[in-house]
Amino acid sequence: MTQSLTIRRPDDWHLHLRDGAMLKAVLPETARHFGRAIVMPNLVPPVVTGDDAAAYRDRIMAALPEGMSFEPLMTLYLTEDTDPVDVRNAAESGLIKAVKLYPAGATTNSASGVTDFDKVRGVLETMAEIGLPLCVHGEVTDPDIDIFDREAVFIDRVLDPVRRASPGLRVVMEHITTAQAADYVRAGDETLGATITVQHLMLDRNAMLVGGMRPHYYCLPILKRRDHRDALVDLATSGFDRAFLGTDSAPHPTHKKEAECCAAGAFTAPIALSCIAEVFEAKGALDKYEAFVSLNGPKFYGLPVSEDTLTLTKGPAIDLPTKIAAGADTVTVFDPGQPLHWSVS
């Protein structure tokens, strides 16, 4: 039985770092294990221009503790006013690695997102020309569509038409949650990839709802039925090279999670790699673990694989952190609902 696993240092291809005191609190939890991360731009106000991205990158690096190494991979928030020239300049300078599409109202701080896709056609054409990926939050926001169906409807109504209208556009289906999404990315070509989160690989909606509502499992896209979770686990552990880890680690103050109308997001960064190791071991797929967390993402984004390594060691159940301080607040760490035996060094 494998008791240790040495892999290239992983990257996180979907991460929320927030800003201010929260940024300073959560950044070390990612930088401890991950060498790089695609940083989400949904601040208030959002990161919409190259100048915004440069300023945010500087704040991230200023918050990085001395002695830690970490590279934030910056993104722009796509709005109906985004300037294609600014996107091109930011990408060609190396400042940004992707542009993020939020359908307006789909998730936290998405009010500035897109409602009319014709208004962003020029940006998408520019991105296709220069090979800049579009990271997609794949949910429709129509009030008549059930929340558990929003991802599947998005694929048919929005994603497929956008990809057909912009040939060559590189697209990352972020935090996929359904069997339909897993099937769609499998059927795609080399321009289509997908990230999968910790919580969607470990839990289904029963974990959130049975026996009482557990707000720290509430995220968007929402947890789905067990058969959808099984489809995601099958995709991640299969060795399919266009699926990779994007934790979507999303910190919120504990009081905003434990509220009548709770914030959406799971803060998984401190234990993400240990959680994923449990999933892969349960499927007998530890030989595919490195590809999912360390190799597939750089390949899709056209970036070099890390030269650094880290080792996971299996032993007695590890002590799981419960909360971290963030200024005057705390952030509650994701509870995997099972013991974790893989520690990271």
Length of the chain (residues): 345
**Distance between CA atoms of 100 and 96, rounded to whole angstroms?**
11
Asked whether 257 and 263 are in contact (CB, 8 A), the reply is yes
**Distance between CA atoms of 70 and 63, rounded to whole angstroms?**
11
**Residue spans of alpha helices (H) in 131-221:** 150-154, 160-165, 179-187, 198-202, 205-209
185: tokens are 């990315």
Rg for the chain, CA atoms, rounded: 19
φ, ψ for residue 172 (rounded to 5)? -110, 115
Contacts of 168 (CB under 8 A, 6+ apart): 128, 129, 191
Q: Is the peptide bond before 45 cis (omega within 30 degrees of 0)?
A: yes
**Distance between CA atoms of 326 and 88, rounded to whole angstroms?**
36
Q: Which of 12, 156, 248, 335 does the annotation list as catalytic?
A: 248
> How many Cβ atoms from other residues are within 10 Å of residue 337's Cβ?
12
**Distance between CA atoms of 273 and 198, rounded to whole angstroms?**
9
Q: Residue 51 catalytic?
A: no
> How many Cβ atoms from other residues are within 10 Å of residue 264's Cβ?
16
**Residue spans of alpha helices (H) in 224-337:** 226-237, 254-257, 272-282, 289-290, 296-301
Active site residues: 248
